[in-house]
Chains A and B, each alone.
Chain A
């Protein structure tokens, strides 16, 4: 399975939907809206999806991007699935701690660790 939108690389790793961001900055509102729509479109037909979102290249993200992550997490939970975040740079991870969203999301240091947790 490969489904590339302009701002995301979406692939399948066994039964996990892996979503990689391709941009360093997740700031622009239109781009964030597009990202949210792409992910929702992908997950909509799925039941109990296992989802991994990787932030390896991401250097900046805004509160609007956090909002989209919260919306995606709500959708995944509503479908009885699991979302894990991984490969978050220390500066970005600090944003999650400041906003206390580290309590809301399951965060792993590496994609491998996240995939293991999702197995």
Chain B
């Protein structure tokens, strides 16, 4: 089994930066034997996390950056996403699965992250997201 693989990127917004980080994580997970289901889950959760941080977290921060750190070993993949915004209260986000909210086009990113990852934690003041995917969760 290969050694733990770690990565770090500063994201400013362009799509190519997100794609490059996604590819690096995917390659590391493949090296550690994570299956198709795991790769799908992490790709979806990371997409939501990184886009949320860039588009919403740093919305009012001129030239804002997102600090993205990750590590993958044979048991788990860990992700840390920090934006430079003032944060938010994730508990205040309406439940998108309520019948009354089903027709609202936005607000599903956090619930998808929670559904697909083993752990999702927004740390105070809400601009630091920590996520874990454990290999035992999927294939």
| A64 proximity list for chain B (CB < 8 A) | 51, 106
Tell me whether B44 is interfacial, beta carbon within 8 Å.
Answer: yes
Given contacts A29-B55, A95-B44, 16 further A-B contacts (CB under 8 A): A60-B44, A62-B44, A62-B47, A62-B48, A62-B109, A63-B48, A63-B108, A63-B112, A70-B105, A74-B103, A91-B40, A99-B97, A99-B108, A100-B96, A104-B102, A104-B103
Tell me whether A58 is interfacial, beta carbon within 8 Å.
Answer: no
Contacts between chains A and B (CB distance < 8 A), count: 55
Main secondary structure of the interface of B (DSSP, over half): helix
B residues with a Cβ closer than 8 A to A are 15, 37, 40, 43-44, 47-48, 51, 55, 96-97, 99, 102-109, 111-112, 115
B112 — nearest CB in chain A belongs to which residue? A63
Question: Once bound together, how far apart are the Cα atoms of A64 and B97, in whole Å?
Answer: 16
Q: Interface 1/0s, chain A 87-119, versus B by CB < 8 A? A: 000010001001111011000000000000000
Among A28, A71, A95, A100, the residue within 8 A (CB) of B105 is A71
Contact A101 B102 (CB under 8 A): yes
Contact A63 B109 (CB under 8 A): yes
Question: Once bound together, how far apart are the Cα atoms of A103 and B105, in whole Å?
Answer: 14
Contact A60 B43 (CB under 8 A): yes
Tell me whether A66 is interfacial, beta carbon within 8 Å.
Answer: yes
Tell me whether A67 is interfacial, beta carbon within 8 Å.
Answer: yes
Contact B103 A98 (CB under 8 A): no
| B103 proximity list for chain A (CB < 8 A) | 70, 74, 104
Question: Once bound together, how far apart are the Cα atoms of A74 and B106, in whole Å?
Answer: 14
- Asked whether A67 and B106 contact (CB < 8 A) given A98-B111, A98-B115, the answer is yes
